[in-house]
Structure formats: C-alpha cells, structure tokens
Structure 1
Amino acid sequence: MLLLPNVGLSAAAIAKLAQWQAEVDSQLNYPAQVEAAKAKFKQQNTRQNGTFQAVKVALTSMCSGARRCVYCEDSVADEVEHMAPKDLYPDKVFGWGNYVYACGPCNGPKNNKFGVIDAAGALVDVTRKPRGPVVPPLVGLPALINPRVDNPSNFFDLDLLGTFVLDVKEHLLASDFVRAEFTRDVLDLNRDVLLKARANAYGSYRARLFEYRQKRNGHASAEELAALVAGLKAMPHPTVFSEMKRLHAAIPDLSPIFGSVPEALQW
C-alpha cells in the first residue's frame, strides 16, 4: 500500500452524494440509519447510476496498473470499499473520502471488521457480532490505515531480500504499531499469492530498468524513453518499486542499476 493521490470528484457528484447522505442522516435513530445506509447504497451503487460511475472513474485513477486493488496492489479492483464500514458508520456511507477501490480477496475478509484505538492506546474491536445490538461503536482513532490520508510507508517495510513479506516497522509509537498490525492482518496482506506476486514484480521492475538503460544508452528518442517510464509507473505493486528505490544502496542486485540510472530514483 502507498499513499493515494488526491483525486477530486465533480461538484455535481459531490452534491449527489451529500443528498443521499442527508437522507440517511435524517432517519430517526441509529439502527434506522444503519438500515437506510445499507439499502440506499445498494440502490445507488449500480452501473446505471451516473454519480457512481463518476466515483468509480475517480477511484480507478488512484489505482496502480490496470485498476489494481489499492490494498494488495495485485487483484483487479471491482468493489467500492468503505474503509469505515457502513454497518457501523452510516454517517459515512456516501462520504467520498471514505471510499477506495478494492478487490474481493481484500474486501471480502475485511467485510465489516473494524477497530479503534481507545484513549489508553489499546485496540478495541468494534465489529458488530451477528445479531448483536445495533448501537454506535466506541469513538476512537480508526485502527485501519487509510491510504487516502495515511502514508502506509510510515508503517510498513517490505522485505526485498527473499521473503517479500510486509513487516511492521520497528520503533513506531505504540498506537501506530497496533494500527499497522491490525491493517496487515485484517487485509491478509501477506497471503501466499501476494508474496509470489511481489517477487515477480521485483524481477519485472529490474528488467524494465535494464531495458530503459539499454535504450537510453542506445540513444533512443525522448518519446520512446518516456513511454518506457510510463509503462514502469503503470505496473502493479508500486510498493515494490518504492522500496527498491528506498533500499537500493544496500542491495547488491539494485545498487549498480540505480547507480547507472539515477533518474529512476525520481520516478
């Protein structure tokens, strides 16, 4: 995961989302708001709805590659994901800032799982149990790292020396450590398929750097070089490339290529 670009939404779409949110908020009590949030989101989130088509276009522009999930960066993003679940936070069901584009393998296990950090810095699971009382969750800092506003690179390191496991950074504040662990585990960001995909992405990024260097040294045109850079930037698993740039000096496989293509550090 990386910090997502700040992509705007048209004033018309924002106004429509606000209108639907006001209809949810107008319900008499919290349980009624929860039911209204679920029903109205299902009603509006369709292919025929122009506002949600605009939402999906904007969310797509935040994704890497061919619309890769913003969480795992691997599978196709095909679900408008509420970071703060609508079952718990009906007041955010139509909040533009609460949306990302995610894949089923990330969104499914996450579902309505959510936690907050309480005043003591402890994780409190606020997931509503089946047939549990429909009451507002405890107020606290969201435990799930939000790539719309949080920079995941401040929470995680990616092991490029063999395992490609996403590790929680050392020496974090206690609450940040808890948030990182919660996010990694609830999204299952170290599932086997992702470890293999990150390893493949590492090799692909290196190969593209070699290709770029060969073309540049062969006096390729500026247009051809720009196309190679654009292709690299459009690959899935941009976190892999971000970590390659950050750690290149300490990795023998990377230091020579980045040393010969220093401009790549700015890509």
Structure 2
Amino acid sequence: MIPLQRPALQARLAAELDRATAGIRAAGPSTASGRAAWRKAVRPKAQLRLLLRQMAPGLERCMYCGDNLGTDIDHFEPIAQAPLRTFDWQNHLLACAHCNSNRKRDRFPRDPATGDGLLVDPCREDPADHLRLYLDSGAYDPLTVRGEATIEVFGLNDRPELVRGRRLMFAVVKALLLTWRAAGPAEAEEYAAALREIHHADVLRTVLGLRRSRPLALAVLGPEVLDALDQLLATDRRFTA
C-alpha cells in the first residue's frame, strides 16, 4: 500500500451524493436501504469509478494489494456497518475483486476500547507508518496493531502470489534503474514511465525511501543501483523519495 491523494468532487456530483445520503436517511438507515440505493446509483457510481481510477497506483491497480486491476468501488467502512456512509466520497476506494469480495467483504475490525476502525486508509495516512515492506522477502511486517489488522484482512502476506510478486518486482525496479541510466533520452523516458506505472507501487516507494538512510540504501541496493537512483531523483521531479 502507498499513500494516495483524493481529489475534491465537482459541486454537481457532491450534491448528487448528498441527495442520495438524504434518501437513505429518510428511508431509515440500514444495510438494505444503503445497498438498494447504491445499486440504483448508476451515473454517480460511474463518475466515482473514473475518479478512483485516476488516483489509483500504477495502471489502475487495487489500492489495497497493488497487484490486481482495480475493478470494484469498495466502501472502506462497509455499508453493513455504516449505511449513511454509502455515498461518502471519503469512504470510497478502488479494489480488485479478490480484495473486495474474497478478503474484506463486510469486515472492518475495530479497536475494542475506542471503537475506531483498525484498517489503514491510504488516503488519510501513510501506510508506511503501520507497515514495513522487506524487499528481499516481499513480505510485510506490522509496525502497529492497525498494520497487523490490515495485513490479515487483505492477506498481504498469506497470498503467495503477492509476496512473490513484490520480491520479483524489486528485481525489476533495480534492472529498470540501471537500464534507465544507460539509455538515451527517448528510451530513458520510457523506462521512467515503466517505473512510475509498475505493479506493486509499494516496492518502488520502499526503494525510494531507502535514501533516507545512506548506509541502508547502499547495503540493500548496491552502489550501482543507488547511483542510478540518485541520478533519477536529481533529474525527474515526478519521483520523490
């Protein structure tokens, strides 16, 4: 997972979502009324999906696993638990079918003491505050209770294809950095675009973050890859450490 920026809604769409919420409130907020209203909201759902696709990592990847194509509008706090948030723009994320329908479903673990949700919201916080990705293994280590809940709900470590995919993507990132450094201007832009749009964007972000500790970056990346990374960040403002 990586942090994401949620754009503001256009006034017309925001008003339409407010009217839909008012309709649920008038009908009596419930799982049934929330889901019925959501099924009927064809036009606003299409607009929301477009916005979510634009803010998704890589090539419209799932905002949770970062691997599969984001196909579903997920209600971060499920309709079953918060029907009045059915049309809340701050409650919508783009998910793949597996994360949405197979893993999360209506699950939304809460702190037993406070009732606060425990899942990490990538639009409200930096997932790196709760999850540490180990590039050599492709596995996540929870840094907080919230990180632990997020790893468990989305199966970030118990889905072998995700762990292996992140590990292999680390090798791809290193190869692309070295190839970018050796390429001419036109080809270099293609390799930079490939880096910006890779699957498992969390791998690239972890690599970029290594530069905060020079000794660690050198140990993990090696001198040649680290030099290429330094050059990329010095010449392309679209990448930030």
Q: Aligned match of 1:81 in 43, 63, 74?
A: 74
For residues 62-81 of structure 1, the aligned pairs below 5 Å read: 62-81=55-74
Q: Is the 8 A contact 2:21 2:87 kept in 1?
A: yes
The separation in 1 between residues aligned to 2:15 and 2:201, in whole angstroms, is 33
Q: Which residue number in structure 2 is paired with residue 243 of structure 1?
A: 206
Q: Which has the higher helix share?
A: 2
Shift of 1:144: 1.1
Contact 1:81 1:99 in 2 (8 A): yes
**Pair 1:196-2:149 in alignment:** no
The worse-fitting range, judged by mean Cα deviation, of 189-198 and 239-248 is: 239-248
TM-score by length of 2: 0.87
Tell me the SS of whatever aligns to 2:100: helix
Aligned to 2:213: none
The answer to whether the 8 A contact 1:81-1:107 is kept is yes
Q: Which runs of 5+ in 1 are unaligned?
A: 122-139, 170-176
What is the rounded CA distance, in whole Å, between the counterparts of 1:263 and 1:17 in structure 2?
45
Q: Does residue 24 of the first structure (1) align with residue 24 of the second (2)?
A: yes
Q: Distance in 1 between matches of 2:107 and 2:25?
A: 22
Quick one: distance in 2 between partners of 1:37 and 1:71?
23
Shift of 1:103: 0.6
Residues 8, 58 of structure 1: 8 Å contact kept:
no
d(CA) in 1 for partners of 2:231 and 2:152? 35
Q: Give the deviation of 1:250 after TM superposition.
A: 4.5
The answer as to 2:6 corresponding to 1:12 is: no
Matches within 5 A, 1:172-191: 177-190=144-157, 191=159
Q: Any gaps of 5 or more consecutive residues in structure 2? A: 211-215
The aligned amino acid for 1:165 is A
Structure 1 residues 179 and 252, CA, compared in 2 at 3 Å: closer, same or farther?
closer
Say if 2:5 and 2:55, in contact at 8 Å, map to a contact too. Answer: yes
Identity of aligned residues (%): 25
Among 35, 38, 43, which residue is 1:41 paired with?
38
Q: How does 1:49-198 map to 2 (within 5 A)?
A: 49-108=42-101, 109-119=103-113, 140-161=115-136, 163-169=137-143, 177-190=144-157, 191-198=159-166
Normalised TM-score (structure 1): 0.79
Letter in 2 for 1:97: Q
Which residue does 1:3 correspond to in 2?
Answer: 3
Separation in structure 1 between the aligned mates of residue 209 and residue 177 of structure 2, nearest angstrom? 15
In angstroms, what is the RMSD of aligned CA positions? 1.8
Per-residue CA deviation, residues 201-237 of structure 1 (Å, 9 max, x unaligned), is: 112111111111001xxxx33x553343222111111
1:241–1:7 distance in 2 versus 1, CA, 3 Å: same
Offset of residue 5 of structure 1: 1.6
